[in-house]
Structure 1
Amino acid sequence: MAASSSRQDIETLAKMEEGAAHDHEHGVEDIEMVNTAEQWNWEEEENIDKCMDPEILEHAATGNDPNRTRPKLRSEMFEQRSTLGNYFIHLASSVGDLGSVKLIAELHPSQVLKQNNEGNLPLHLAASAGHLSTVCFLVEISQTNNYNLLVEKNTRGNTALHVAVENHHQEVAKFLIYNDESRFSPNMYGKTPLSMAAEAGNVELIKHMIFGRPSWLAFDNFPEEPWEGNSVLRAAILGRNREIIKIVLLCISSSLVGATDEEGMTPLTLGAYIDDFETVSTMLATVGGSAASNKEDKNGFTPVHLASRKGHITIVELLLKHCPPPRDLLDKNNWNILHTAVWHRRDNMVKYILGKFEFQELINQKDKFGNTPLHLAVRQGYPKTVSILASSKRVNFSVRNNEGHSAMDIARMSLMGEKTLFLRRPLTVMALTLASASRSPERSISSKVKPTEANYFNVTEQRGAFLSVVPEDASSHIQTVNNLLLVSTLVATVTFTAGFTMPGGYMSSGNDEGKSTLVTDWLFQTFLICNTIAMYSSITVAIGLLWAQTGDMSYACSKVGLPILGLALSMMLVAFMAGVALVTSNLTWLAIFVVITGSIFLVIVLLLLVPLIIPISTKHRVTCFVLRCAFHMLLNIPKYDDVDD
């Protein structure tokens, strides 16, 4: 009887599968497509699953194709497992083979509780692939046998509803929503089906989860979604889905606006941080929105601080309408919004605050260390930000912090170190000096060096020996002198060689034998004049710097070495330009190209040399204009490695 019954069951299974062929065609290609949609590595699983009985795999491979002969199923096949832990019911569920699933469940109801190595039930696989009829049957039989499959989770903490939402199977998700409350159940990453739908921007599913609740779930007892890392409101804000935000605030709880997550962040703070003006406006209009605008996170930042940190001007304007006066909005370091904008190099926000009369109290306001926004900009080495601040007439340059340092003091001291900040510190000093900033009197007096300390060499029998105690910047001056000597020597060598390798060559006969063939050409004359000046200048610099070895190297570098060497380099550039243009003068366009490019780079070289040669404290209008042009050109060179999160 048992054998006969088994044969009848198998025959019944074959008939049911043939009938299902009208609804589901799932050959080998379909199986691979389904598993790709559910984010399974089908190729790996297929190879490993060959450890199962080949007849089982053949059965799954033939699917519901009525044109192929399918192997007969035997009861012992149902207990076989692949290396991945899949039973036959898992394979049948994943491809929507409802007939096989029904037969197995009727013969062995406990098979619906089987889990593979990833903790997936047959229900998980059916939901992942979007097979609604298979899902309906598995839910129905679980309720009949008092199995609560809907709350069962796999190793990632996902229920069947999680899987359906993740793979965008609307109808399957709606069916599961109506039959259980797992929409509020978090997985191991803290994500609920509700928050996953919000991340995907699935408004229809969100509405169904909230408005399509079953009759047995009273509205008053509707679970309130916690404001945590992956809550539905956070997901909606990050996805900028304003319709979902409105639904959550109106239908779940408006009090979520003031709730904080594990980082101490409120939804309002997050909206301000990502510059979502409409979302911030919506939350401010809800009950408790104004109170949330003043709420601090664990770092003491209010929403307006974070908006200022990111440079979101419109958000700052909106939030300040609901906040106390800006001078009272301070974080744990007593930073106002201008401090924050300066520290994070938000120059647009700095300009906005400086341009508003009502923010004038913020400009020279001190933090708990006595630093004004200008102190912070200088300390960070942001020359452009310093220039913007220094351009305001309301900025007080003489303000000192708790250590007694003015902004210029900090800039000068920082120049002694942080070599990696190429040009940032020198340009910061230049920005302050061009704005007529002065050092604090005490610091200026204490920083003066006595005349006897200006000589960095000990006059002993060992010529050139260093003093045992060398001033802090002595080594840098010595290195500068050595570098200038090297450059001047190279210039002298190049120009000397060029003086005896004339463009165009020499005459080989006549009274002028050995003379230059192009001596009457104006380009040749330009080449020769510039080359001569460069040669003599470099020799002069070299001799002057040799004398500097026995005296004040700082004076020698700034007053002798740099100006004359700058002249030599400029003349060498012009000499090269004239020489190349001369030998290419028979091709007009090429000669013009050489002259134009040479002129452009000559201007750049001069602008680079100007701040090194001309005192930046000069009051002459023309000189100041040239210095400012050079300053703004140099502002584009420094790079900033500091990352703003």
Structure 2
Amino acid sequence: MKESLTHPDEWKQLLRRPNLHEDTSLHHAIRGGHKLVVELLIKEDPELCDITNAVHESPLYLAVHQRHSEIIDSILKVLPSPISYKGPKGLTALHAAVIRTTKRKLEIAHVTSPEVIKEGDDMGWTPLHYAACFGNVKAVKLFLQHNTSVAYVLDKEGASALHIAAFRGHVPIIDLLVTSCPDAWDIINTKEQTALHAAVIGRRANVVQHILRKPNLEDLINEKDTDGNTALHLAAVHKRYAIARRLALDKRVNRFATNKDHLTAFDIFFARNNTANRENSESMKSIFDSQLLVAVFIATVTFAATFTMPGGYNDDGPNQGMATLADKVAFKAFVIFNTIAFCFSTQALFLRYDTSFLSDQEKMEYAMSVGSSIQLAILGMLLAFASGTYVVLTRTSGLGIVPYVVIGILVVDYVIGEQKSWLIQDSSLPIILKGFISLQ
């Protein structure tokens, strides 16, 4: 055995021998974070740094992914020997350096060729795309210092780093890109959309505001995509009303521009608004129908309870026909609560009787009134149930108070839920119309 390992190439073959996952001894040492072992292996066979495993992980990529800064240093010292930057899914060590947080992530670019800086992953994203996405200003600066042409590289959907930065709302990254490459404003994706389009779709009002403050960008502001939509059109399509208002108020924006369907942004807004109104009308009808059903149910139940009193009636004597438990406090409470439930459910029926002649606003107000009446009717019915249960369980008072306890818990839970719903309710209303004042 010893004799078979006397030749240097045989030692190298042993060091390079892969396991079932095609990991070499160097891959194992990096995963374990064993810096001294890594240095020893690289010293014996520097070409180990150029071998990838079954999932295309190179030693350098693995070291960056594992955040082993000292091991990264040891691997980079191997230059100019062959070093692979490859990683899974088309990623490189430079991608991982941007995605993962390592002390040496930026220094990797200093030893990276311009071609590696421009190399895209399976989505076509270069390291600059990722840096723009995460708002990594230092990485963007370094990439642009090495190779400004990377700013023009498009991913598989035609998006540049500028599109990504605009969509994510990173204004400092946008400034860096257009300062190094002023004509980057003209980059369009596969849908012929500019960075302004991307900002609108991403709901980035800060980016839209920033772009509108730039001089000499009239062509960009009114640029149309493959559907003929300008940024203002997309703001209306995607219901970005605050952005639409800001765009419409800018004098450079062509508010009369039409898309391929011959629609202006104003047309799109009102078409959507009318659709929403129809949907609201249908929703209002559904609400009224539900309220009517509940009101009829409560009125029926409480009306029937009036003639089927708890405990029954006296069959003879001077009190014949009177409720046997009429002198009980709980029975009197039952009668009061049952009456309240019946009256408020009946009131809800009267309020619901005819709303066809009302406007949408008046229907909403009526729906709220009907809802309030039904809420009080439901509460009265619950309390009548609890009182009726208690009055027939006088001798077992412990069991008789159970309905009160349960109803109390339900009421408290409902009140808390209502308060939460008010806190999270969005009361903002679309204000796009203000941006179209000059159209009148």
- 1:187 corresponds, among 28, 33, 53, to 53
Q: Does residue 120 of structure 2 align to residue 265 of structure 1?
A: no
2:92 maps to what in 1?
A: 231
Task: Tell me the alpha carbon deviations over residues 19-48 of structure 1, each in whole angstroms, 9 at most, x when there is no partner.
Answer: xxxxxxxxxxxxxxxxxxxxxxxxxxxxxx
Say whether the 8 Å CA contact 2:347–2:373 is kept in structure 1: yes
Deviation (angstroms), 1:305: 0.9
Task: Measure the CA separation in 2 of the matches of 1:428 and 1:279.
Answer: 51
**2:142 matches 1:282:** yes
Shift of 1:183: 0.6
Alignment of 1:245 onto 2:47: no
Q: What is the Cα deviation at residue 282 of structure 1? A: 2.9
Q: 1:576 aligns with which of 351, 357, 378?
A: 378
Give the distance between the partners of 2:338 and 2:363, measured in 1 at CA.
29
TM-score of the superposition, structure 1-length normalised?
0.49
Specify which of 339, 347, 369 is matched with residue 533 of structure 1: 347
Q: Look up the equivalent residue of 1:536 and give its one-letter code.
A: F
Cα shift at 1:323: 3.4
Q: Deviations over 1:373-412 (max 9, x none)?
A: 3533554xx54x3455346652776543111134465567
Of the candidates 292, 315, 337, which is equivalent to residue 195 of structure 2?
Answer: 337
Give per-residue Cα distances to partners, 1:286-312, cap 9 Å, x unaligned. 332x33233333432211211223333
The 5 A counterparts of 1:98-497 are 105-106=1-2, 141-143=6-8, 148-180=13-45, 181-211=47-77, 213=78, 221-223=80-82, 225=84, 229-246=90-107, 248-253=108-113, 256-261=116-121, 263-284=123-144, 286-288=145-147, 290-324=148-182, 327-343=185-201, 346-347=202-203, 349-354=204-209, 357-358=212-213, 361=218, 365-379=223-237, 382-383=238-239, 385-390=240-245, 393-394=248-249, 399-407=257-265, 410=268, 426=276, 485=289, 488-497=292-301
CA distance in 1, matches of 2:123, 2:380: 66
Letter in 1 for 2:372: S
Q: How far apart, in 2, do the equivalents of 1:410 and 1:574 lie? A: 43
How far, CA to CA, are the matches of 1:392 and 1:578 in structure 2? 54
User: Structure 1 vs Structure 2: percent identity of aligned residues?
Assistant: 20
Could you tell me how far apart the structure 2 residues matched to 1:188 and 1:141 are?
30
Aligned to 1:629: 427
Report the CA distance between 1:269 and its aligned residue: 1.7
Inter-partner Cα distance in structure 1 for 2:111 and 2:123: 25
**Alpha-carbon shift at residue 226 of structure 1 (Å):** 5.4
After TM superposition, the score normalised by the length of structure 2 is: 0.67
What are structure 1's unaligned runs of at least 5 residues? Answer: 1-104, 111-139, 214-218, 417-424, 431-475, 545-554, 609-627, 633-645
Counterpart amino acid of 2:62? M
Mapped partners of 1:378, 1:499: distance in 2: 53
Amino acid at match of 1:188: A
Larger Rg: 1
The number of equivalent residue pairs is 394
Contact persistence 2:235–2:243 (CA under 8 A):
no
The code of the aligned residue for 2:427 comes to C
Q: Offset at 1:534?
A: 0.4
| Paired residue type of 1:488 | L
Unaligned runs of 5+ in 2: 388-400, 431-440
In the TM superposition, residue 198 of structure 1 has moved relative to its aligned partner by: 1.8
TM-aligned CA distance change 1:485 to 1:200, over 3 Å: closer
Q: Is the 8 A contact 2:288 2:352 kept in 1?
A: no
Alignment partners' CA distance in 1, 2:304 and 2:12: 101
Range moving further from structure 2, 328-337 or 569-578: 569-578
| Aligned-residue RMSD, C-alpha | 5.1
Deviations 1:581-618 (A, max 9, x none): 79999999x9899499569859979x99xxxxxxxxxx
**Shift in Å at residue 178 of structure 1?**
0.8
Residues 1:156 and 1:493: Cα distance change in structure 2 (over 3 Å): closer
Q: Provide the rounded CA distance (Å) in 2 between the counterparts of 1:489 and 1:326.
A: 62
Q: Is the 8 A contact 2:232 2:247 kept in 1?
A: no
For 1:492, what is the secondary structure of its paired residue?
A: helix
- Match in the other structure for 1:47: none
